[in-house]
Amino acid sequence: MFQAKRLVLAHFWVAFIAFFGALVLGAWQMYVRSPLSTWVQNPEHYYRSVTAHGTVMAYVLPTLVAMGFGYAITELALKKPLIGVKWAWAGFWLVIGGTLMAAATMALGKASVLYTFYPPMLASPFYYFGVVLVVVGSWIWVALMSINLRAWKKEHPGESVPLAMYGNVAGAYLWAWTSLGAAIEVLVLILPASLGLTDTINAGLARVFFSWTLHAIVYFWLMPTYIVFYTIVPRAIGGRLYSDTMGRVAFALFLVFSMPIGIHHLFADPQVGAGFKFVHAVMTAMVSIPTFLTVFTIVASAEIAARLRGGTGAFGWVKALPWSNPWMLALTFSFIMLGFGGAGGLINMSYQLNETIHNTQWVTGHFHLIFAGAIVIMYFMAAYELWPQLTGCAPISPRLIKAQAWLWFIGMMVLTLPWHLVGLLGMPRRMAYYDYSNPELAPQAWTVTMSAIGGFILLASGALLIYTLATASRRRAPAVEPFTFSRAAHPGGRTPVALNGLGLWVAMMIALTLVNYGYPIAQLASLKEASVPVIPIGSR
């Protein structure tokens, strides 16, 4: 790498330290509502903690990882120094400033509104300013990714954009467009009310705007993981990427279909018409296509690795996979969690099935499996892989990596499978306590204990991550091997022009958003009766 080493390192460190703090809160939350502890004496403390956990895990961690990883990819894939390093630092400090501002407000109990904001509840304006700063800082990253790609294309006319950079910029554009919904919600609806300029808020419209961000943000979190799947995993397990084009198709399809589908979060909201709910459900189903394409391509890439190692037969090659390689382990864990979480997701997105599990612990289980499981485990792996490049340390001990990945996988399964079960039985989410003395709830008490145990296993895994990264530089490498991305099975193939740029897909993303969101937004915005009195939190 050239000049982004400290920059990338700073992003990863802040991300993981904030992550560890939020992990402590998460484990505490599970403990206090389990039968292991008495009821939390002040439920507001619980919601304060949930708000901080969600804000860090949903905004701070993935944004910083995507930014840091994006800067690293820019230098490693384009093989040239990052343009705009000073701007990148400015973006970083904006994110830090925003995080601290939001954290202080949350700690004071002035912002216990959960990270999804939930108007008409209102937090102190400083909480929203903090979140806005985080997002604005990330917009600088979006601009830099675009500028760097353009500069590279100018210098390399007609050449294929490296796949890692293609996915990286796709993720940046996706984030730019998807963060707009929450940005409009905060700037136009929430902040005027939070600052006391109005005392009513159009809560239905605010929820629709948030849904604009709420689902696609998941794919922004996912992008770094998919980039790792396509461009690092095949090389790390000793194989080839089965198809470079398939990767581009998957990134392009995510761009188009991840965005205009958020109303499936509002299936129980009366202010949105059933027709739009159905259309959004259909588009949500379309997201399974790039997901399946990816699973197919990566499994095929693993098969190449196995056959290169002498594996034979229709399924016999599975035995020849490099099972002692931490990457193989992490990939397997990630796919198992993606499989369970994805199957649960199909239920969430189905208009009718959703009724059964709407707002239950099932939902919490689902997004923890997908995001905190399948996605975040690859954030760890990306950090392990980049660490020697960033710090000049020797490659990180495979034993430590495997121990951490095992703990994370087991912890996540023990945490989330009981949630799925009790979600089906109807246990609501976001409860500060449950009355286990009631004979109807008593039989479910053990599941919450299980989840609390899972939470502590995850905490141990998080501690091991921090320990591993912090102590890595004790072992210096005599020479750091240059970083490589995975090579395609058929290198040098021609890349279709539409898949070498993002213009078409961004245009389709915007057009589809207008079709799917235009009318609901216009209609709700024009409804005078839709405004409700605000409920400031912690104001007295």
Partner 1 sequence: MKEPGTFGWSNPLVRWSVLGLVALSIVSMLVGFLWLPSVQGDYAAQGLWASICRAAGVPGDWSRGAKARQAPTATNVVLERSMANEGANDAIGRGATLALNCTMCHGAQGMSLSNAPNLAGQYPEVVIKQLRDYQSGKRSSAIMQALTAKLSDRDISDLAAYYAYLPKARTAPTTYDESLPVLVRVGAPLRNVAPCVSCHGGIDQKLGAPWIEGMPKDYIVQQLKAFRSGTRRNDGEAQMRNVARSMTDAEIADVASFYARKAP
Catalog residues that contact partner 1 under the rule CB under 8 A. Answer: 38-39, 41-44, 199, 256, 271-279, 282-283, 286, 431, 433-435, 438, 440-441, 496-499, 501, 503-504, 507-508, 512, 515, 519-520, 523, 527, 529, 533-535, 537-540
Look up 430 and say whether it is catalytic: yes
With respect to partner 1, which residue has the nearer C-beta, 43 or 54?
43
Q: Does residue 366 have an active-site annotation?
A: yes
- In the complex, minimum distance from the CB of residue 47 to partner 1, in angstroms, rounded to a whole number: 9
The count of C-alpha atoms lying within 13 angstroms of the C-alpha of 484, restricted to the half-sphere facing its C-beta, is 12
Shortest Å distance, C-beta 128 to partner 1: 19
Q: How far apart are CA 404 and CA 463, in angstroms?
A: 9
| Nearest-approach distance from CB 536 to partner 1, in angstroms | 8
The minimum distance between CB 383 and partner 1, in angstroms, equals 35
Give the active site residue among 430, 475, 476, 490. 430
Q: Which lies closer to partner 1 via its Cβ, residue 58 or residue 283?
A: 283
Is residue 429 part of the annotated active site? The answer reads yes
Neighbours of 452 (CB within 10 A): 24
User: What backbone phi and psi angles, to 5 degrees, belong to 35?
Assistant: -65, -10
Please give the distance of CA 118 from its chain centroid, rounded to a whole number: 20
CB 444 within 8 A of CB 420: no
Alpha-carbon Rg for the chain in angstroms: 23
Which is the catalytic residue, given 45, 307, 309, 429?
Answer: 429
When the beta carbons of 480 and 535 are compared against partner 1, the nearer one is 535
Main-chain dihedrals φ then ψ at residue 533, nearest 5 degrees: -65, 145
Which is closer to partner 1, CB of 316 or CB of 533?
A: 533
CB of residue 61 to partner 1, shortest distance in Å: 29
How far apart CA 209 and CA 532 sit, in angstroms, is 16
User: Helix (H, G, I), strand (E, B), or coil: what is residue 489?
Assistant: coil
Nearer to partner 1 among residue 39 and residue 296 (C-beta): 39
Give the integer Cα–Cα distance in Å for 306 and 312. 8
Nearer to partner 1, 159 or 477 (CB): 159
Residue 115, Cβ density class (10 Å: 0-12 exposed, 13-18 middle, ≥19 buried): buried
Catalytic residue among 53, 264, 265, 368: 368
Smaller CB separation from partner 1, 283 or 305: 283
Work out how close the CB of 99 gets to partner 1 at its nearest, in angstroms, rounded to a whole number: 26
Active-site pick, 215, 235, 264, 265:
215
Q: Measured over all CA atoms, what is the biggest interatomic distance in the chain, rounded to whole angstroms?
A: 71
Bridge partner list, 201: 532
Kindly report the CA angle at 453 between 433 and 214, in degrees rounded to 5?
A: 65
Active site residue 368: yes
Nearest partner of 530 among 538, 519, 539, 521, judged by Cα? 521
**Which of 33, 207, 264, 366 is the catalytic position?**
366
Catalytic residue among 31, 242, 251, 367: 367
Tell me the Ramachandran region of residue 480: left when phi exceeds 0, alpha when psi lies from -120 to 50, beta otherwise: beta
Closest CB to partner 1 among residues 155, 435:
435
- DSSP-assigned letter for residue 324: T
> How many Cβ atoms are within 10 Å of 218's Cβ, its own excluded?
20
Per-residue burial over 504-515, b if 16 or more Cβ lie within 10 Å, else e, is ebbebbeebbee
Q: Which residues, other chains included, contact 369 with Cβ-Cβ below 8 Å and sequence gap of 6+?
A: 337, 340, 341, 344, 412, 416
Using the minimum distance from each CB to partner 1, give the nearer residue, 63 or 513.
Answer: 513
Q: Could you tell me the smallest distance in angstroms from the CB atom of residue 41 to partner 1? A: 4
Active site residue 265: no
Distance, C-alpha 24 to centroid of its chain: 19
Rounded to a whole number of angstroms, the minimum distance from the CB of residue 498 to partner 1 is: 5
Whether 144 and 88 have beta carbons less than 8 Å apart is answered as: yes
Based on the number of CB atoms within 10 Å of its own CB, is 481 exposed (0-12), middle (13-18) or buried (19 or more)? exposed
Of the candidates 196, 121, 200, 197, which has an alpha carbon nearest to the alpha carbon of residue 533? 200
Three-state DSSP class for residue 438: coil
Minimum Å distance from CB 503 to partner 1? Answer: 5
| Catalytic residue annotation | 215, 219, 366-368, 429-430
